[in-house]
Amino acid sequence: SRGHCYFSTNCKTMNALFRKIIWWLLWWLPKRPLHSVPTGNGQPFSSEPNPDEIAWAEETGWVVRKLDEYCNRNPEYAERQAFLERVNAYRMKYPPMEIPEAWNEEVSDLFIAATAQYLDTHQAAFNKLYDHLTAMIHIFQHDLSAWDKSKQSLFSYHDRNVDDITGTYVSFPIACVKARRELNNEFNRYFESNKDQSPIILSQVESFRSRVTDAKPENIELLMKEWDEKLYGQNIHVPVALEVWDLIASVDDIFKNKRSVKDFPVENMMLSTTSEPNLEELAFAEDTRYLARKLDEFCDRLPGDLERQAFINRSNAYKLKYGEQPRIWSTAYMDLIVDSKEKYELTYQPSFTELYRGLCVLIRMLQNDLSSWDKVKQAQFSHHESNVNEITNKHVEFPAECINARRELQELDNQLNSNSGRNSEIFDQVKSFRSRVIDAELETIKGLKEEWDEKLYGQNLHCLVALEVWDIIVSVDDLFKEKLAVPRRPVDSLPLSHT
């Protein structure tokens, strides 16, 4: 049935109004297979359908069939544009709130269902779109005061993914529409008080790129110095459009290609201005090249545990040994490390974005949630902590924002962690209790469950605990679920309804 308000004319009117509101809300938004739409032959129209109603039903049917088709394949660019143009014309001709009540309700319902099904089918892509949009909003809200190439790179990564997803699909969930609107509002607020520098920077970089492309090898160093000191080699202090960032990155890549020395033997490099480079300088060059090559190698594959630890140990020793290398030593080798780190960070940007997001959640929870700590918050905290540890234990280098967030988290943890002794006490307590549960007979399990709930950690947990402590608490909860589970009868032995 279409509704349950059959008691009065007012109820029927409210039903019709509610249906129109739902249709309007789901205008861009779709649960069942849809292959045909009645246009007067199957379901009755109003008693005397007029040409406008028939045209509306046929046009709605076309939109529904297309949405059904796009559940199975994404349209090509031209096809997508044609669909969107026709849908826009449809929206202007048939505004949802102006559809007469007497027109065929089945057609309206099919349109709503088609949109809902389309969104359900592509939900995974829309979840990613929402994540990218909210990440861009977060960056714009918190990082504008200290904008740099690292933040621009992260922002452009999300921006590119948003463009890819929005350029693929034809309808989007209301959450994504709202997030896009919020991001546009952030842009508008920023550019109301700040002139958009993108056109100026675009012109500068295009001109400079032509000079670099045509430059002779002996002029590259001077151009590199100009790029670093006067333009955008070292930094960029304002947000720019994606096309501008891509052009800046292309200049960086040209310099890397023209100045790459990873495969040069050490003895062929001009190491310093001195005619006789010393042994320490030669060792510095060799160590630097080794680290750069390993980072390049790890862009193609992640290292195993032993290989990762060996690299980190050698990298730490390198930093201790050459932290303040003499200025007369060649900068070319230092550029190798910088270039390799940038390449590594870009290769694993999605992982580092997830890592940064997880660290930010942990920081926010430590700052805001400790006064009302419970098992739900601990479960959420431990989930993010576990993800952070998993990503951290795979990689050998990390972007600056991840390092800074990790440092902030560590400082917060140090301030709060007067409970290291408490962690040890809870762990020993739960470990002992867990042994009792494992060895318990069935008749004593309920008593142990009451003790766990009332005196220990079955119902709640009022302080933050380490991940290993939380894991053992969860293991006790799982033990009780297993031991107290009621055996399920086979389906064929269950009574069915009387019908």
Average pLDDT over residues 122-130: 94
| Tens of pLDDT, residues 381-417 | 999 999 999 999 999 999 999 999 999 999 988 887 6
Examine the pLDDT at 359 and tell me if it is beyond 60: yes
Residue 1: band (very low, low, confident or very high) from pLDDT cuts 50, 70, 90: very low
Angle at 158 between CA 135 and CA 249, to 5 degrees: 135
| Tens of pLDDT, residues 312-344 | 999 998 888 887 555 556 566 677 788 888 899
Examine the pLDDT at 197 and tell me if it is beyond 60: yes
Examine the pLDDT at 4 and tell me if it is beyond 50: no
What's CA 434's distance to the chain center, in Å?
38
Examine the pLDDT at 452 and tell me if it is beyond 60: yes
Q: Output the pLDDT for position 330.
A: 59
| Tens of pLDDT, residues 52-65 | 888 888 999 999 99
Residue 264: band (very low, low, confident or very high) from pLDDT cuts 50, 70, 90: very low
Residue 102: band (very low, low, confident or very high) from pLDDT cuts 50, 70, 90: low
Examine the pLDDT at 128 and tell me if it is beyond 90: yes
Examine the pLDDT at 125 and tell me if it is beyond 90: yes
pTM: 0.49
Q: Output the pLDDT for position 121.
A: 96
| Tens of pLDDT, residues 225-248 | 999 999 998 889 999 999 999 999
The full 3-state SS of the chain, as one line of letters, equals CCCCCCCCHHHHHHHHHHHHHHHHHCCCCCCCCCCCCCCCCCCCCCCCCCHHHHHHHHHHHHHHHHHHHHCCCCCCHHHHHHHHHHHHHHHHHCCHHHCCCCCCHHHHHHHHHHHHHHHHHCHHHHHHHHHHHHHHHHHHHHCHHHCCHHHHHHHHHHHHHHHHHHCCCCCCCHHHHHHHHHHHHHHHHHHHHCCCCHHHHHHHHHHHHHHHHHCCHHHHHHHHHHHHHHCCCCCCCCCCCHHHHHHHHHHHHHHHHHHCCCCCCHHHCCCECCCCCCHHHHHHHHHHHHHHHHHHHHHHCCCCHHHHHHHHHHHHHHHHHHCCCCCCECHHHHHHHHHHHHHHHHHCHHHHHHHHHHHHHHHHHHHHCHHHCCHHHHHHHHHHHHHHHHHHCCCCCCCHHHHHHHHHHHHHHHHHCCCHHHHHHHHHHHHHHHHHHHHCCHHHHHHHHHHHHHCCCCCCCCCCCCHHHHHHHHHHHHHHHHHHCCCCCCHHHCCCCCC
Residue 47 or residue 464, greater confidence:
464
| Tens of pLDDT, residues 158-174 | 999 999 999 999 999 99
Residue 458: band (very low, low, confident or very high) from pLDDT cuts 50, 70, 90: confident
Dihedral angle, C-alpha 190, 195, 200, 201, nearest 10 °? -30
The Cα–Cα gap between 262 and 236 comes to 27
What value does the mean pLDDT of the chain take? 81
Q: Output the pLDDT for position 339.
A: 85
Average pLDDT over residues 67-88: 94
Average pLDDT over residues 450-470: 89
Q: Output the pLDDT for position 273.
A: 46
R_g of the chain, CA atoms, integer Å: 31
